[in-house]
Amino acid sequence: MLMQVLIKDKISKRFAVSTEDGDKIYHIIIGNFLKKEKVTLDFEGITLMTTAFLNAAIGQLYSNNQYSSEFLNNYLSLINVEEQDAHLFRLVVKRAKEYFANKDGFEKNSNDSIYGDD
Amino acid sequence: MRKIYIPSKITSAIDGYELLLRLHSEFEKTNNEEIHFSFLNVVWFEANLAAVLGAIIEELEWRGNTVKIVETDNYSRINNVFFRNGFFPHHGIYIDVISGGNTQISYKMFLESEDQLYNNYIQSELLNNSGFPKHSPRLGAEIKRNIFELFENARTHGKCSHIHTCGQFYPHYRKLNITIVDTGKTIVSNVREHLNNNLGSCECIDWAMKMNNTTKAGNTPGGLGLGLIFDFINLNKGKIQIVSSNGFWELKEGRVRKLDLNFSFSGTIANLEFNLDEHLLYHFADEVKDLNNIF
């Protein structure tokens, strides 16, 4: 089964900017994954997007090692993304992988960079 | 009743913020009083900084004070922008006829939960505003994205009662200034708690502005919004200033300036200046065409 999710309908707006709206999409995605359904996120009509929205909608998928990259590449696809927004997906995915790979490591590195230990 | 005279010139320079923060500090322990802010001596007050004054007034009102803006006649003869942007009317001061251009982005207050209203505000004030100088759609989209990243940051980190915002176009200089102020938890306090140390105020802001640094906890990653704004402002040759607690941090013409001020603000002021010149269009070095197998 393939579920096509028209973002602008699910969040009732053309600006995909808030964390809360990102959360809505995240829950739709995992709801379908639980049913072993593939999901296509359709960004048709979305005129503005932020990393705050994408962190919630997509970044969260990497939490607690819920889903592997292989699984996500197989079960989640993106269509009708504006060219100007495409780079945000790569940033968010890269950031989420690093963030969840080692939360503690991030905090240590942050401290070290301030105090000049690295 | 206590009356305070607003200084003659308030700009978005360090001394302008010092003056605004000093006003804020003057009434730090004032509760349940009537306070008059006099515009008698004001000659110039940078329009977008109305958001800061609005936040200061709101904070005073929370503490049971009644705040009035008085003696505005002289200033109104010099400049009517505080009527055009709605700041004076918001505080009960009106004039019969408002003349002048359409270069203002209205002064508004938003609750943390009013992201949809903020969407509508940006739509009407920026997208549908005939006074907004012509610029490319790509540049316009990036400007709006930056404004929303900052608004989301204020909403999710400040945990404030209201977010105050106001802006101004300067068609001659082809600049857009917008100021977003929250009176919630400061960046300084969030960063100190997160790092569990006592870093200087401006150093805390510096930390928060770096890509990948976040004070967020839980399952939603963060740390991109402010870093993206930093990158964009650099490319756009614009300006961003952050004042939080007594920390001041500025990125302008590629240079970061940071210092601790003499006075403190119980929230965060973010002042953005965008350059609308077409020749400052840019391309992301890492533009992505193919979204297959991106995960």
Average of per-residue pLDDT across B109-116: 86
Interface probe, candidates A20, A42, A99, chain B, greatest B C-beta count within 10 A = A99
Give residue B155's pLDDT. 84
Residue B152 touches chain A, beta carbons under 8 Å: yes
pLDDT bin (cut points 50, 70, 90) of residue B177 is very high
Structure tokens at B212: 């990948």
Which DSSP letter does residue A65 get? Answer: G
Count A/B contacts: CB-CB distance under 8 Å: 117
B223-277 pLDDT, tens digit per residue, is: 788 888 888 888 888 999 999 999 999 999 889 999 999 999 999 999 999 988 7
For the ranges A34-43, B4-13, B182-191, which has the lowest average pLDDT? B182-191
Distance from CA of A101 to the nearest CA of B (A): 11
Give residue A118's pLDDT. 39
pLDDT bin (cut points 50, 70, 90) of residue A92 is very high
Could A50 and B291 be called an inter-chain contact, meaning their C-beta atoms sit closer than 8 Å? no
Which DSSP letter does residue B214 get? Answer: -
pLDDT bin (cut points 50, 70, 90) of residue B284 is low
CB atoms within 10 A of CB A83: 10
Torsion of the alpha carbons at B27, B32, B36 and B37, rounded to the nearest 10: 40
pLDDT bin (cut points 50, 70, 90) of residue A106 is low
Give residue B58's pLDDT. 93
Structure tokens at A57: 């909608």
Give residue B281's pLDDT. 58
Residue-range domain boundaries for chain B:
2-294
Q: Which fold has domain B2-294?
A: Heat Shock Protein 90 (3.30.565)
Q: Is the pLDDT of residue A107 over 80?
A: no
Q: Are B178 and B143 in contact (CB under 8 A)?
A: no
Give residue A1's pLDDT. 80
A16-63 pLDDT, tens digit per residue, is: 999 999 999 999 999 999 999 999 999 999 989 999 999 999 999 999
B37-63 pLDDT, tens digit per residue, is: 999 999 999 999 999 999 999 999 999
* Option in B155, B221, B225 nearest A99 (CB): B221
Residue A40 touches chain B, beta carbons under 8 Å: no
Write down the mean pLDDT value for chain B: 89
Handedness of CA B14, B18, B24, B25 (dihedral sign): positive
β-sheet bridge partners, residue B251: B240, B256
pTM for this entry: 0.89
